[in-house]
Amino acid sequence: MSTVTAHFLSKAQTAALFKVSVRTLERWAQAGIGPTPLKHGPRLVRYDNDEVLDYLRNGELRESAS
Protein backbone atom coordinates (compact mmCIF):
# COMPACT_ATOMS: atom_id res chain seq x y z
CA MET A 1 0.00 0.00 0.00
CA SER A 2 1.30 3.45 -0.79
CA THR A 3 1.57 6.21 1.79
CA VAL A 4 -1.32 8.11 0.20
CA THR A 5 -3.68 5.17 0.67
CA ALA A 6 -2.26 3.82 3.94
CA HIS A 7 -2.37 6.96 6.08
CA PHE A 8 -4.90 9.09 4.22
CA LEU A 9 -8.62 8.81 3.50
CA SER A 10 -10.50 9.81 0.38
CA LYS A 11 -13.33 12.35 0.46
CA ALA A 12 -15.86 9.51 0.20
CA GLN A 13 -14.27 7.55 3.07
CA THR A 14 -14.10 10.64 5.26
CA ALA A 15 -17.68 11.65 4.49
CA ALA A 16 -18.87 8.14 5.32
CA LEU A 17 -17.14 8.26 8.71
CA PHE A 18 -18.88 11.56 9.51
CA LYS A 19 -22.16 10.25 8.03
CA VAL A 20 -22.47 13.24 5.70
CA SER A 21 -22.35 13.69 1.93
CA VAL A 22 -19.14 14.45 0.07
CA ARG A 23 -20.65 17.83 -0.81
CA THR A 24 -21.16 18.62 2.90
CA LEU A 25 -17.54 17.68 3.55
CA GLU A 26 -16.49 20.06 0.74
CA ARG A 27 -18.61 22.87 2.26
CA TRP A 28 -16.99 22.26 5.65
CA ALA A 29 -13.56 22.56 4.02
CA GLN A 30 -14.52 25.85 2.35
CA ALA A 31 -15.73 27.18 5.71
CA GLY A 32 -12.59 26.00 7.52
CA ILE A 33 -14.52 23.45 9.59
CA GLY A 34 -13.45 19.90 10.28
CA PRO A 35 -10.27 18.08 9.32
CA THR A 36 -7.96 19.83 6.88
CA PRO A 37 -8.12 18.53 3.30
CA LEU A 38 -4.67 17.85 1.86
CA LYS A 39 -3.91 18.11 -1.85
CA HIS A 40 -1.73 15.29 -3.20
CA GLY A 41 -1.75 16.55 -6.76
CA PRO A 42 -3.85 18.84 -8.93
CA ARG A 43 -7.08 16.93 -8.26
CA LEU A 44 -6.31 14.38 -5.57
CA VAL A 45 -7.59 15.44 -2.13
CA ARG A 46 -7.09 13.28 0.94
CA TYR A 47 -7.68 13.62 4.68
CA ASP A 48 -5.17 12.60 7.32
CA ASN A 49 -6.50 9.50 9.06
CA ASP A 50 -5.26 10.60 12.51
CA GLU A 51 -6.86 14.04 12.21
CA VAL A 52 -10.19 12.56 11.10
CA LEU A 53 -10.15 10.10 14.02
CA ASP A 54 -9.34 12.96 16.41
CA TYR A 55 -12.44 14.85 15.23
CA LEU A 56 -14.54 11.74 15.59
CA ARG A 57 -13.26 11.07 19.12
CA ASN A 58 -14.01 14.62 20.23
CA GLY A 59 -17.61 14.27 19.10
CA GLU A 60 -17.89 17.74 17.64
CA LEU A 61 -16.55 19.72 14.73
CA ARG A 62 -14.35 22.67 15.56
CA GLU A 63 -13.07 25.32 13.24
CA SER A 64 -9.64 24.37 11.97
CA ALA A 65 -6.59 26.58 12.43
CA SER A 66 -6.20 27.21 8.70
Domain count, the chain: 1
CB atoms within 10 A of CB 51: 17
Give the domain CATH number at 40. 1.10.10.10
Q: In what order do the strands lie in the sheet containing 8-9?
A: 8-9, 45-48, 37-39
Q: What is the pTM of this model?
A: 0.77
pLDDT of res. 58: 86
Q: What is the rounded distance in angstroms from the CA atom of residue 42 to the CA atom of residue 18?
A: 25
Instruction: Tell me, yes or no, whether 66 lies in a domain.
Output: no
Instruction: Tell me, yes or no, whether 9 lies in a domain.
Output: yes
Q: Are 5 and 40 in contact (CB under 8 A)?
A: no
Q: What is the mean pLDDT of each run of 10 residues along the chain (66 residues)?
A: 69 95 96 91 93 85 51
